[in-house]
Structure 1
Amino acid sequence: MDLALDELSVAIGGNTLVRHLTLDVPAGSVVGLVGPNGSGKSTALRCVYRALRPSGGTVRVGGTDLASLGLRRSARTVAALTQESGTDLDFTVREIVALGRTPYLRGNEPLGAAEHALCEDAMGRMDVRHLADRGVLTLSGGERQRVLVARALVQSPEVLVLDEPTNHLDIRHQVELLSLLRESGLTVLVVLHDLNLAAAVCDRIGVLSAGRLVASGTPAEVLTVALVREVFGVDAHVVTHPLTGDPQLLYALTPRHVTKGHPA
């Protein structure tokens, strides 16, 4: 199912955070949003998972205005991993993951065998099955992040929205998560700060600056020396990954000052 943001605008407290954002996410593709802090990335995502009502424009899934769907239908269609995802209650990992089936249940209806199998599969895919009986508050930040991704997978969505999903993850689990996104067959819209990870996982990238879309295209089309300097204010050299052919950025750091052979 495709996702489309059509002339999306968000104004809060007299400040316009997103301005006329138009972005298409074709069915089954992974599209990334990148940009400096405060550029409107997370705000745009909040409109997709209905935490915010846009001031103008629409969000469409499969051609249907998302705002016209009931909340249960919307929750079955779009799953989200947000920066604010979490819990203050010490549920077990198994219980947290099972919450992903809530849109499909009525009242206190218990999970059936098929639901339990979905939960087991999602925990296995995210390498948290061994934590199933642990309280979620006893987990590390990275372990908790993987649990929340498993919960989103159990929701069986057609569209998956993720805001900085690699936060707290070690390199192994970053690679595994991004590989899962590429192979999931879901329509994925993901915010990433790491431009090299975005280049590796995304079919297309949209670049936001001050709430506006300033570039959109394949990673090779978008991640240029000129754009990185203009939008992010840093100098970088673009090289080609020897195995994947993806563009990768090498950043020019300020040289360390050396005095009499010793680092400053």
Structure 2
Amino acid sequence: MRAVRTTVPDLTADPALDLAVDRVSVELAGLRLVHDVTLTAAAGQVVGLVGPNGSGKSTLLRCVYRALRPAAGAVRLGGEELHALTAREAARRVAALPQEHSAEFDFTVAEVVAMGRLPHRRGPAAGPGDGERCAAALRRVGAAHLAERGFLSLSGGEKQRVLIARALVQEPKVLVLDEPTNHLDIAHQLEVLALVREAGPTVLTALHDLNLAAGHCDLLYVVAAGRIVASGSPAEVLEPGLLAEVFGVRATPVRHPGTGAVQLLFDRLAK
């Protein structure tokens, strides 16, 4: 792959950046899956990771929400190394929606969302205002009517909205989302991405849909074979040459007539 010009983040410019991934590498079963990745997300930004299947996006996100420990490098929040924090301290700062989730017990939706308040409690009892926070989060994702339903009885899209509500009620400074629009119809895809921006935390998200990424992210990092190969604004990054090399498609950029955001029309590459 040809070298692609990449905007290299300056991690020394502002030590209070909400999120700084500094030269992180990840190894699993002796195989290096992520290679020397550096990226930053400033307060309130929505930062997207895009790349083909198996490129290392999910593995990198798992380091950010502490499901994996880097083999090299560090992840910092507000200048503090994430893996040096206690689990409770980290959970007050970072909430995550992994790509895969499971539940062995059929909690109600209200109970699942209330789990997002656990990092803020000093005991098993709910804190003052927790019930209203949870109810408000369910209203925000359009799932208030599901509160008494069993979580296991929900459709994939309904489960996704409930889990986003749980992440929001955690009140994190950083929200890590791995394919948050999976299982959602187009209306809920747009609503969820608008919602996480309006909620206020810094967002780091992996997205397969490049048009959703272009329309909702402030900054994009393109990941291929475990490395960052390009970064910048969507208009800078989503250019035909790069998309042909990384994704193997022919892309034609156009401007959205309402928002002005770059959007892409796709076709197969000529053999």
TM-score by length of 2: 0.91
Q: Is 1:241 paired with 2:251?
A: no
Equivalence map 1:65-144=2 (5 Å) = 65-108=81-124, 110-144=125-159
Paired position in structure 1 for 2:30:
14
Paired position in structure 1 for 2:46:
30
Structure 1 regions of 5+ residues with no counterpart? 256-264
Number of residue pairs the alignment of both structures matches: 254
Residue identity opposite 1:81 in structure 2: L
Kindly, what percent of the aligned residue pairs are identical?
A: 60
SS at structure 2 position matched to 1:166: coil
Paired position in structure 2 for 1:259:
none
Q: Is 1:181 paired with 2:181?
A: no
Structure 2 regions of 5+ residues with no counterpart? 1-16
Per the alignment, do residues 35 and 159 of structure 1 end up closer, same or farther by CA in structure 2, a change over 3 Å counting? same
Residue identity opposite 1:27 in structure 2: A
Distance of 1:179 and 1:84 partners within structure 2: 22
- Please state how far the C-alpha of 1:254 moved relative to its aligned partner: 8.2
SS at structure 2 position matched to 1:252: strand
Assess if the C-alpha contact under 8 Å between 2:93 and 2:173 holds in 1: yes
Assess if the C-alpha contact under 8 Å between 1:85 and 1:148 holds in 2: no
Paired position in structure 1 for 2:70:
54
**Deviations 1:33-63, CA, capped at 9 Å, x for gaps:** 0001111100000000000000000000011
Spell out structure 1 runs of 4+ moving beyond 4 A.
none
Residue identity opposite 2:244 in structure 1: R
Assess if the C-alpha contact under 8 Å between 2:88 and 2:119 holds in 1: yes
Paired position in structure 2 for 1:206:
221
Distance of 2:182 and 2:148 partners within structure 1: 24
- Please state how far the C-alpha of 1:85 moved relative to its aligned partner: 2.4
Assess if the C-alpha contact under 8 Å between 1:35 and 1:208 holds in 2: yes
**Deviations 1:133-170, CA, capped at 9 Å, x for gaps:** 00011110000000000000111100000000000001
**Deviations 1:173-204, CA, capped at 9 Å, x for gaps:** 10100111222221000000000000011000
Residue identity opposite 2:232 in structure 1: G
Paired position in structure 2 for 1:64:
80
- Please state how far the C-alpha of 1:253 moved relative to its aligned partner: 4.4
Q: Which has the larger radius of gyration?
A: 1
Distance of 1:45 and 1:252 partners within structure 2: 30
SS at structure 2 position matched to 1:235: strand
Distance of 1:215 and 1:33 partners within structure 2: 10
